[in-house]
């Protein structure tokens, strides 16, 4: 009898764990993984036609306490790779400017938004993406209080902002100066800028 009760309880716990894990839309990750501190978030793949130069911005839950504003990180879509069936995203991480897949990028964030820039042609947007890709291997810029188009290093939103400034002249930094970050550019400023607009959004926090 006790064995049956234990078996039933075990089955109930397994079912409960499965229900909780699927309803929260993320799988557990190692706490030592600095890019997935909250697990791997499972977003639906964007159901729109994506383009080179699309800007992707993500939100870490709770990171508004370390990064000013809701949005935490930004990257730029470079090109679609048919061999892996996914888009490549150029982004500046702590190890420097690098390329990751769109699925990997989205898996780090509980909310993701994809933006485009008003008045910019597909060709111009693709040029911005190629410009960002040309900075592959550049080190990470730890000075978030300033930004420069042609610098020796880049932080995430600085790279995206610089790519569009260098190739189109469009300034996607919503605020020239903020008390919180002086003359830098935050991911949230790119989202808030009047030159950008959203084409896709996913939020697993509800």
Reported as a single tens digit per residue, the pLDDT across 97-154 is 999 999 999 999 999 999 999 999 999 999 999 999 999 999 999 999 999 999 999 9
CATH number for 124: 3.90.1720.10
CA-nearest of 88, 92, 204, 84 to 153 is 92
**pLDDT confidence of residue 26:** 65
H helices present in 54-194, as ranges: 102-107, 122-133, 156-168, 187-192
Q: What is the pLDDT of residue 186?
A: 95
Residue 22 located in a structural domain: no
Question: Hey, which bits of the chain come out as E strands?
Answer: 26-27, 40-41, 55-59, 73-81, 86-93, 96-101, 111-117, 196-203
The CA distance from 77 to 140, in Å, is 19
User: What percentage of residues in the chain have a pLDDT greater than 90?
Assistant: 71
Residue 51 within any structural domain of the chain:
yes
Indicate whether 24 belongs to any domain: no
Mean pLDDT in residue range 13-24: 35
105 located within any domain: yes
Looking at the structure of the chain, the number of domains it has is 1
Structural domain range at position 51: 40-203
The angle subtended at Cα 181 by Cα 178 and Cα 182, nearest 5°, is 60
Judge whether 23 lies within some domain: no
Q: What's the length of the chain? A: 206
Query: pLDDT at residue 9 above 90?
Result: no
Which pLDDT belongs to residue 5? 35
């Amino acid at each position: 009898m006790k064995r049956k009760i234990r078996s039933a309880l075990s089955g109930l716990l397994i079912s409960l764990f499965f229900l909780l894990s699927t309803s929260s839309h993320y799988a557990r990750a190692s706490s030592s993984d600095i890019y997935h501190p909250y697990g791997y978030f499972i977003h639906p793949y964007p159901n729109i036609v994506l383009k080179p130069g699309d800007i992707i911005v993500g939100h870490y839950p709770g990171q508004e306490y370390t990064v000013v504003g809701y949005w935490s990180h930004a990257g730029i879509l470079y090109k679609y790779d048919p061999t892996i069936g996914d888009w490549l995203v150029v982004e500046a991480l702590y190890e420097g400017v690098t390329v990751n897949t769109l699925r990997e990028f989205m898996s780090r964030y509980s909310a993701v938004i994809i933006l485009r820039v008003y008045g910019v042609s597909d060709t111009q947007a693709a040029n911005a993406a190629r410009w960002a890709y040309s900075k592959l291997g550049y080190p990470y810029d730890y000075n978030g209080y300033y930004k420069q188009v042609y610098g020796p290093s880049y932080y995430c939103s600085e790279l995206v902002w610089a790519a569009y400034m260098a190739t189109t002249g469009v300034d996607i930094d919503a605020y020239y100066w903020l008390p919180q970050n002086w003359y830098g550019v935050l991911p949230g400023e790119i989202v808030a800028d009047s030159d950008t607009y959203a084409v896709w959004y996913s939020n697993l926090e509800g």
